[in-house]
Amino acid sequence: MENTTKILFPYDQSLVKELPLLDHNAIETILNTAESLFNDQSNWIAPFKRIEILEKAASIMNERSEELIHLAISEGAKPYKDSKAEILRAIKGVKLATEHISQLKGEQIPMGLTEASLKRIAFTTREPIGVVAAVSAFNHPLNLAVHQIATAIAAGCPVIFKPSSNTPLSGLALAAILKEAGLPEGWLQVILCDNEMAEKLVTDSRVHFLTFIGSAKVGWHLKSKLPPGTRCALEHGGAAPVIVESDADFSEMIPDLVKGGFYHAGQVCVSVQKVYVNEEICDRFIQQFSEQTNKLIVGNPFEETTDVGPLITPKEVNRVEEWVNEAVEEGAKLITGGKRISDTCFEPTILFNPSEKSKVSTNEIFGPIVCIYPFTNRDEAIKKANALEVHFQAAVFTKNIDAALETSKKLNATAVMINDNTAFRVDWMPFGGRDSSGLGMGGISYTINEMTREKLIVFKSKSL
């Protein structure tokens, strides 16, 4: 009997689609196809052709944006207004990848600087790195697919894409659009398989580059299994600390942090999670932050008024509920929320001063929970913010330029937002975690560069 995976609408667990899983033989065929395409340079797609394909794909995506929005909601359940923003970002991402193709260039290396290097001219070129294996996450099903697929195509690499088993439909839709746009057969292969088959795929010696978005546990495990010479980029999660000083502008900050904390029910790798607030303004902060949080509408993500949708599975609701109950038992004050609304939805929740040992303090929550901690000394708050092994994006709210710059310097993060929430991102900026939060830097142009490699050519001639 054929193994299948069921895609369920996270809000009510209704069946959206059932798709077959690939077996061992199919994986072997897929790897051979990708390797054969790359090894024969006559198959390579010329840069002008890559530009044509991606430009057409962006155009088709734009025409079908409403269809793509509904598909993303049906599998990932991000609310309509946020899914719409994701699809617009994905279209922009394809355009960014297209534009960067013209920037894939080398440089001249000076010769004649020593007598031994006379009569030579040297330059570098950039070539595709080879077969790319891409493993993706559930929380941005179309935009993450663009970040891993459009970049590989722009770089000139055959790509094998494994979407999350919860949200494969957007990636499959992108593959169909790229095929319609003229991408030759075999250059993009989307696979649905179990974890064992996925590991076999990405750790195969025929793969030259692994791009992985998901949990640190899985990412570092896969990296440890990679054969010699295979490069990789890993994007995991963080706890997104925020430092709030006493001079922060409440009118700007409160809506920003509410959005950053509860966007997509907190299922974002840079979602606001730990907010350290100067105790001089802590009561005021809690009052205004909870007032705004209580106004959020939780419900069906297809409703345009919904602010917060369900978590991806009922299992995640159970986990979040356990973590919140544990935090309260261990001394946290429950400001608002704290209860499940249904099997799939959880109230936007604010916890005050949970123990530094509680799971909500030590782990990435990936749910609609924000923790607030008071501080008197900013250096102590920064020390606590830096205490975990995960370091991704962070933020500071203050109108004091010296405090902003000092805090930005001391926070252990790859990016620090000043007077903006930790979840801010545009797709042309560098984006990634450090330490256990990841390896390498994402962002469309950065990823394309990672998927290429330099070749040095030295030309010797007596005529030079």
DSSP secondary structure string, 422-463?
TT---TTS-B--EETTEES-BSHHHHHHHTEEEEEEEEE-TT
Q: What is the C-alpha to C-alpha distance for residues 208 and 202, in angstroms, rounded to an integer?
A: 9
Domains of the chain with bracketed CATH:
4-236+437-459 (3.40.605.10), 241-418 (3.40.309.10)
CB atoms within 10 A of CB 373: 20
Total-model pTM: 0.95
Please say if 269 is a catalytic residue: yes
Contacts of 380 by beta carbon, 8 Å cutoff, 6+ apart: none
- Of 35, 235, 316, 347, the catalytic one is 235
Amino acid at 40: D
Q: How far apart are the first and last CA of the chain?
A: 69
Instruction: Please tell me which residue in 157, 232, 269, 282 is annotated as part of the active site.
Output: 269
Give the residue from 106, 105, 140 showing the smallest Cα distance to 122.
Answer: 106
Annotation marks residue 157 as catalytic: no
Per-residue pLDDT tens, the chain, 464 aa: give them: 468 999 999 999 999 999 999 988 899 999 999 999 999 999 999 999 999 999 999 999 999 999 999 999 999 999 999 999 999 999 999 999 999 999 999 999 999 999 999 999 999 999 999 999 999 999 999 999 999 999 999 999 999 999 999 999 999 999 999 999 999 999 999 999 988 999 999 999 999 999 999 999 999 999 999 999 999 999 999 999 999 999 999 999 999 999 999 999 999 999 999 999 999 999 999 999 999 999 999 999 999 999 999 999 999 999 999 999 999 999 999 999 999 999 999 999 999 999 999 999 999 999 999 999 999 999 999 999 999 999 999 999 999 999 999 999 999 999 999 999 999 999 999 999 999 999 999 999 999 999 999 999 999 999 99
